[in-house]
Structure 1
Amino acid sequence: MELLELLKAVILGFVEGMTEFAPVSSTGHMIIVDDMWLNTKDVLGSESANTFKIVIQLGSILAVVVVFWRRLLSLIGLYRMEGPEHGQKLRLSHVIVGLLPAGILGVLFEDYIDEHLFSADTVVYALFVGALLMIAADKFGPKRPSTQSLDQITYKQALLVGLFQCLSLWPGFSRSGATISGGVLLGMNHKTASDFTFIMAVPIMAGASFLSILKNLDNLDYSHLGFYILGFISAFIFALISIRFFLKLIQRIKLTPFAIYRIVLAVVLMFIIF
Structure 2
Amino acid sequence: MEQFWIAVVQGIVEGLTEFLPVSSTGHLILSGQLLGFEGEKASTFEIVIQLGAILAVLILYWKRVLNLFGLKKLEGTGSGRGKRLDLIHVLLGIVPAMGIGFLAHNFIKEKLFSPYTVVASLVVGGLFMIYAERRRTRVTAPTMDDLTYKQAFGIGLIQILALWPGFSRSGSTIAGGLLVGASHKAAADFSFLMAIPIMVLASGYDLLKSYKYLSSSDIGFFAVGFLVSFVVAWIAVVSFLKLLERVKLTPFAIYRFIAAAAFWFFILR
Q: What is the CA-CA distance between 1:238 and the residue it aligns to?
A: 0.1
Task: Tell me if structure 2 keeps the 8 A contact 1:48–1:221.
Answer: no
Task: Tell me if structure 1 keeps the 8 A contact 2:142–2:183.
Answer: yes
**Structure 2 counterpart of 1:256, one-letter code:** T
| Matching of residues 60-71 of structure 1 within 5 Å | 60-71=53-64
**Structure 2 counterpart of 1:20, one-letter code:** E
**2:125 paired with 1:130:** yes
Residue equivalent to 1:40: 37
Residue equivalent to 1:8: 6
Task: Tell me if structure 2 keeps the 8 A contact 1:14–1:238.
Answer: yes
Residues 113-132 of structure 1: CA distance to partner in whole angstroms, max 9, x if unpaired?
A: 11211111111111111001
What is the aligned counterpart of 1:226 among 220, 223, 227?
220
| TM-score of the aligned structures, taking structure 1 as reference length | 0.93
Percent identity over the alignment?
Answer: 50
**Structure 2 counterpart of 1:40, one-letter code:** F
**2:90 paired with 1:95:** yes
What is the aligned counterpart of 1:50 among 43, 48, 69?
43
| TM-score of the aligned structures, taking structure 2 as reference length | 0.95
Residue equivalent to 2:110: 115
**Structure 2 counterpart of 1:110, one-letter code:** H
Residue equivalent to 2:70: 77
**2:186 paired with 1:192:** yes
* Counterparts in 2 of 1:33 and 1:9: CA distance versus 1, 3 Å: same
Task: Tell me if structure 2 keeps the 8 A contact 1:100–1:162.
Answer: yes
**Structure 2 counterpart of 1:214, one-letter code:** L
What is the aligned counterpart of 2:159 among 151, 165, 169?
165
Distance in structure 2 (CA, Å) of the matches to 1:108 and 1:17: 28
**Structure 2 counterpart of 1:148, one-letter code:** P
Structure 1 runs of 4+ aligned residues shifted over 4 Å read 83-86
**2:258 paired with 1:264:** yes
Q: What is the CA-CA distance between 1:33 and the residue it aligns to?
A: 2.1
Task: Tell me if structure 2 keeps the 8 A contact 1:24–1:262.
Answer: yes
Alignment root-mean-square deviation, CA: 1.4
Distance in structure 1 (CA, Å) of the matches to 2:207 and 2:104: 19
Q: What is the CA-CA distance between 1:86 and the residue it aligns to?
A: 7.3
Distance in structure 1 (CA, Å) of the matches to 2:6 and 2:60: 26
**Structure 1 counterpart of 2:98, one-letter code:** G
Distance in structure 2 (CA, Å) of the matches to 1:88 and 1:146: 14
Q: What is the CA-CA distance between 1:83 and the residue it aligns to?
A: 6.2
How many residue pairs get aligned? The number is 266
* Counterparts in 2 of 1:86 and 1:197: CA distance versus 1, 3 Å: farther
Residue equivalent to 2:27: 29
Residues 179-220 of structure 1: CA distance to partner in whole angstroms, max 9, x if unpaired?
A: 100000111000100000000000010001111111112111
Q: What is the CA-CA distance between 1:88 and the residue it aligns to?
A: 4.4
Structure 1 unaligned blocks of 5 or more: none
* Counterparts in 2 of 1:126 and 1:23: CA distance versus 1, 3 Å: same
Task: Tell me if structure 2 keeps the 8 A contact 1:86–1:151.
Answer: no
Distance in structure 1 (CA, Å) of the matches to 2:17 and 2:235: 11
Distance in structure 2 (CA, Å) of the matches to 1:21 and 1:246: 8
Structure 2 unaligned blocks of 5 or more: none
Task: Tell me if structure 2 keeps the 8 A contact 1:141–1:186.
Answer: yes
**Structure 1 counterpart of 2:116, one-letter code:** D
**Structure 2 counterpart of 1:24, one-letter code:** V
Moved more, 108-117 or 152-161: 108-117
Task: Tell me if structure 2 keeps the 8 A contact 1:81–1:88.
Answer: no
Q: What is the CA-CA distance between 1:26 and the residue it aligns to?
A: 1.2
Q: What is the CA-CA distance between 1:251 and the residue it aligns to?
A: 1.1
Residue equivalent to 1:106: 101
